[in-house]
Structures are given as structure tokens and as C-alpha cells.
Amino acid sequence: MKARIITALIGIPIVLGACFYTSPLPFLALLLLAIGLTAVEAFSLFIQLWGTGAWAKFASALITFLWVGVPLASLNLLHWGSLPSEPSFGPFRWDAPVLIALLPLWAGDSAAIFAGKAFGKHLMAPSISPKKTWEGGIANFLACVLTAYGVGLWIGLPVTHSLAIGASTGILGQVGDLAQSWLKRRVGVKDSGTILPGHGGFLDRLDSLLFSAIPAVLITIYGLTR
């Protein structure tokens, strides 16, 4: 837990700084780094699952592109695509729309950990992820909805759209986490990598976002442009 907290204390300010900075370059650079490292880890898992034949490599590359590349790349639409035509915000924009795709997930993950440890009794999917409980899952969902509501107010998103993002994130984020846990169990590994102490690999950290990103992006764009 200590290593997990230290990694978060280092990583979160970096991510938030790139989100708040109005120049698209820091966020784009960070996004490309995340896509590259996550894709390498995902591709490696699929290769271990299906083998190294030509068709297996092709299928692994295609699914990695759809599972990792497309969702993460879509986040750039909420940063670069949301920049003002004139630099009226100065060097920083504190109500960056991309926050609503990230902060609910962070809040939900934290709520699930603490609620699961404190109240967790009923296992959600013991054959896939033996530590996940329904109590933690409910806390995750509620934290996602409440955080999305608050962030939506901050960035000027209609309440209905904010709640829709919170609900979809609270559900799809956990589905994404379970999907990656299932893949790791099939392959027989604990983590997808070791680059993030306390978290494992980039895929371990971003698995929830891979399922929730596109709905969050589309709902936010629709809500801010209607």
C-alpha cells in the first residue's frame, strides 16, 4: 500500500498538470507514452495467450489497437479539442473537460479499496478477482457518480450528462478491471508489468479507463456542444 500511495503522489500531479496546461503538447506526449507502454503490455499478454503465429500476432495487434489505442487516443478530444480559439485562459485551464473522464475513476478506485477492506464480505467474481467485493463495487459506483456530478458542475456540463458519465464509468470501469483480471488469470501472471510500484504495469492502472473512456468522451462532447 505504501508503494501504491507514493506512486500515486508522484503520478497524479504530473497527469493533472498536463490536463490543466492549455498547450496540447504535454498532454499529448503523456498520452502517447501511456498508449505505447500499455499497448506493449497488452500485446504481450495476448501473445502469451494465443502464441506467436502470424495470425495470432495479427489478432493480438488488432485487439490491442481497439482495446488500448482507440480509447486512450479519444481522450485527446477532450483536451486539444476543447482548447479555446484564443488564449483567454492563459497558460492553464482549471476546468479542463478531460477531468471528467479521469477523476471519477480515481475516486471510484479509492472508494472500492477502502470500502472493500472495511465492509467487504460478498465476493463479486472470486474466480477472476478474489479480492473484489460487491460492497467495494457499490462504493466504486457511488463515488464515480458523485465525483462526475461535482466535476460536471465545475466544467459546465449539464447534470444529466454528468450523471450519465458517472454511471457508465462506475459500471464500465469495473467491467474493464475484471476483463483484464480475467486475461491475466488465463495467462497466469499477477500484474501486466512492474513499471509502476504498487500498481503493476500501465495496463493494470488504465484497464478501467479502456472501457469507460469513449462513453465519457462522447457524452461530454455532446453535453458541451449542444
Please provide the DSSP assignment of 105-170 as one string: HHHHHHHHHHHHHHH--SEEETTTEEEEEHHHHHHHHHHHHHHHHHHHHHHT--HHHHHHHHHHHH
Report how far Cα 6 is from the mean position of its chain's Cα atoms.
Answer: 19
Indicate the number of domains in the chain.
1
Instruction: Output the pTM of the full model.
Output: 0.91
Print the domain residue range for 100. Answer: 2-225
Residue 112's closest CA among 170, 54, 58? 170
Per-residue pLDDT of the chain (226 residues; tens, 9 = 90+): 677 778 778 889 999 999 999 888 999 999 999 999 999 999 999 999 999 899 999 999 999 999 999 999 999 999 876 655 545 567 888 899 999 999 999 999 999 999 999 998 899 999 898 889 999 999 999 999 999 999 999 999 999 999 999 999 999 999 999 999 999 999 998 888 777 776 778 999 999 999 999 999 999 999 988 7
CB count in 10 Å sphere of residue 5: 10
3-state secondary structure at position 226 = coil
